[in-house]
Each structure stands twice: as C-alpha cells, then as structure tokens.
Chains A and B, each alone.
Chain A
Amino acid sequence: EAEVAQSPRYKITEKSQAVAFWCDPISGHATLYWYRQILGQGPELLVQFQDESVVDDSQLPKDRFSAERLKGVDSTLKIQPAELGDSAMYLCASSLIVQPSTDTQYFGPGTRLTVL
C-alpha cells in the first residue's frame, strides 16, 4: 500500500539552529500539506501545495519557516532559527484532489522535533 514518507523521524536541536524536514507524498498525489501538532492539540495546517505552487501559507511563520516543492513531488520544510516553542510533531499529508470539498488526506509518520 502506498504511503507518505517522511524523514527524519526524530530530530533534537538547540535553539537558534537550522532544521529541515523532508516529505515524499503518495505517488500521483498533487496536493501536499505540512502540519504542526503540539502535544494535546489537533494538527494545524502550516502550508499547502498544489503541485509546485503554494495555495495556503496563511499560518506559516514566514520569518523563520520556509517550504518548497520545487518539482511538484517531494517537499522540504525548514526552520531557521529554531525556537523552544517549535518543539512539536511535524506531519506531512497528501491527497489526490479530485474535488477539494471531498478530498481525503493521508498522513506520513511525522517528525518529532525537540528544541533544547
């Protein structure tokens, strides 16, 4: 069964350092999402790509976060510099987008970030 791949699975870094996360969506899925999930809360959308274009980055802290999906397939999310409050699970999801109102998202295993 096709799955969303993410790496690394765990990342420990010190504040002010740079970190990067990678995601490879399910083959053929045009839409890719990056979420942040703080412990005890639901996932919150950071950025959404349709192919290589950003369609929603309204909740992305653009002073320190950046995301790209250059060839419309895999994607990288970067944080520079990391802050203590960035400690969370970073989730990648993908979907086929046949029709936005009924589209189904499938999640990867996530990257657990700890900022010391």
Chain B
Amino acid sequence: QKEVEQNSGPLSVPEGAIASLNCTYSDRGSQSFFWYRQYSGKSPELIMFIYSNGDKEDGRFTAQLNKASQYVSLLIRDSQPSDSATYLCAVNNSSSNTGKLIFGQGTTLQVKP
C-alpha cells in the first residue's frame, strides 16, 4: 500500500463545474496536509494547506480533511481551463519529525471549455 494515494486520472470536467480531487494516506500520525498544483514541465506550486478536521476555503479552492477516515480532498469551484494541471497531495511524515513530506503521484485535471 502506498503511503499517499491519488487517482492518476485524468479527471475531466467542463468549464464552470466543480472539480473534486481526492487523496488517502496511511500515516495516522500525520498532522499537516498540502495541495500543490503542477503545470506540465513546471515545478509544484503551493495551493493550500490544512491541519484541522473540516473544511478550509481560499477563494475558489476548498480543502477538506477527515483524519478518522485518513482522507483529504480539494474542491475547485467554477473550474477554468487555466486550472488544467496535475494536483499533488502531500502529507507530513510523523515518524521523522523533520518536516518531511510524502507526495502522492498526482491527479491530472482537464477543464474543457
């Protein structure tokens, strides 16, 4: 079992729709969860982080965390073609206590005009 799992996709949504990206993790001690966006050929760019159970909203983005289910998601409202990218979920490694992150393989999102 991978430590951080994401569906590789592609996830295809029409412009204006809500895109839902999901991530599960195995480390029950993890305390911080990050979503990065990565355009093709570029480096990861931080979108959001979440530490507490529940929802955290930032503009069109909402991160949702459920530690009991070991599940974190990212919702993108009013999806735009410019949102087309790979979205990486990252989870801190609790056993190292060094800030080490474990990344999923990423989900590719395609927003069609």
Contacts and interface: CB of A to CB of B under 8 A. Distances in A.
Interface in A20-46: 31, 40-45
B74 interface: no
A40 B105 contact: yes
B32 A45 contact: no
Interface stretch (A11-19, A48-56, A64-72, A73-81): A48-56
A67 to B, nearest CB: 15
B100 A43 contact: no
Q: State the majority secondary structure of interface residues on B.
A: loop
B43 A102 contact: no
Contact of A100 (B42, B98, B103, B105): B98
Report, as a range, how many residues of chain A touch the other chain.
Answer: 20 to 34
Nearest to A111: B43
A45 B98 CA distance: 12
Contact of A42 (B31, B45, B51, B105): B105
A69 to B, nearest CB: 15
Given A56-B96, A103-B99, A42 B88 contact: yes
Interface of B: 4, 8, 31-32, 34, 36, 41-46, 49, 51, 88, 90, 92, 94, 96-101, 103-106
Interface of A: 31, 40-45, 48, 50, 55-56, 89, 91, 95, 97, 100-110, 112
